[in-house]
């Protein structure tokens, strides 16, 4: 392989994510979507106009997801958000045959067993919703304001580890973003680096 060909191949490989994935932008309209829930219903982002919406990409077998559910942190955030009228949507973009893929009944049982409290769980086995938002990891979090503007995207918090003991020491990015949105303030750290397992899109 010649150096020129190698450089061209690397450049083409690096360009692939930009072609395959959108990139939801903070302070811009959040991408509109229609999705199927674990209950078999169809919902649209427009259904929640006027309400703050959280999108949480998840994969129950991912150690980073287990960190936040095993400790009760994710459930606590979901319930606190619901108490403030926030719509919390879990998104499962794992493809069939990939880690984290589940059907609707299994998704509902997982949430029941963990005491999870999302408003709904969205099944995205083709990865269309994940790629629309540019979701990279589980978890990967997004906060959408009632006017449809994306207010936050990135990690759930500031410590990129799979250790539950780090949660209390971390800066709670999503909690802080929701507080800012509720107060009508701009989110101070509106775009952070997500961490976790890669979303298991179809290869």
CA dihedral 79, 108, 102, 130 (to 10 degrees): -40
- CATH number for the domain including 160? 3.40.30.10
Residue 105 lies in a domain: yes
Residue holding tokens 């959108």? 22
Domain extent at residue 40: 21-198
Residue 9 has pLDDT above 90, yes or no: no
- In terms of pLDDT, which residue wins out, 150 or 6? 150
Instruction: Give the count of alpha carbons within 13 A of 134, CB side only.
Output: 18
Helix residue spans in 21-123 (DSSP H): 63-70, 73-83, 104-114
Give phi and psi for 4, each to the nearest 5.
Answer: -65, -45
Residue 154 has pLDDT above 50, yes or no: yes
8 Å CB contact between 148 and 44: no
Residue 34 lies in a domain: yes
Residue 75 lies in a domain: yes
Residue 97 lies in a domain: yes
Query: In the chain, how many domains are there?
Result: 1
Residue 8 lies in a domain: no
Residue 42 has pLDDT above 60, yes or no: yes
Residue 6 lies in a domain: no
Residue 14 lies in a domain: no
Residue 10 lies in a domain: no
pLDDT per position as a tens digit, 68-97: 999 999 999 999 999 999 999 999 999 999
Q: What is the mean pLDDT of residues 23-29?
A: 92
User: According to the model, what pLDDT value does residue 18 have?
Assistant: 36
Question: What pTM was estimated for this model as a whole?
Answer: 0.89
Residue 5 has pLDDT above 80, yes or no: no
Supply the angle between the helices 73-83 and 63-70 in degrees, to the nearest 10. Answer: 60
């Amino acid at each position: 392989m010649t150096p020129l060909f190698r450089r061209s191949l690397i450049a083409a490989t690096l360009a692939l994510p930009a072609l395959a994935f959108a990139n939801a932008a903070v302070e811009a309209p959040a991408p509109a979507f229609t999705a199927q829930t674990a209950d078999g219903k169809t919902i649209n982002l427009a259904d929640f106009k006027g309400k703050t919406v959280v999108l949480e990409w998840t994969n129950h077998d991912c150690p980073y997801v287990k960190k936040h559910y095993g400790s009760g942190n994710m459930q606590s955030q979901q319930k606190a958000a619901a108490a403030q009228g926030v719509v919390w949507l879990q998104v499962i973009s794992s493809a069939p045959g990939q880690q984290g893929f589940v059907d609707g009944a299994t998704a509902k049982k997982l949430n029941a067993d963990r005491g999870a409290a999302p408003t709904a769980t969205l099944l995205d086995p083709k990865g269309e919703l994940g790629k629309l938002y540019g979701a990279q990891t589980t978890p990967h979090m997004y906060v959408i304001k009632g006017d449809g503007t994306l207010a936050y995207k990135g990690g759930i918090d500031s410590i990129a580890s799979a250790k539950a003991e780090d949660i209390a020491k971390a800066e709670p990015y999503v909690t802080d973003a929701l507080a800012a949105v509720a107060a009508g303030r701009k989110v101070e750290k509106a775009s952070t680096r997500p961490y976790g397992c890669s979303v298991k899109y179809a290869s």
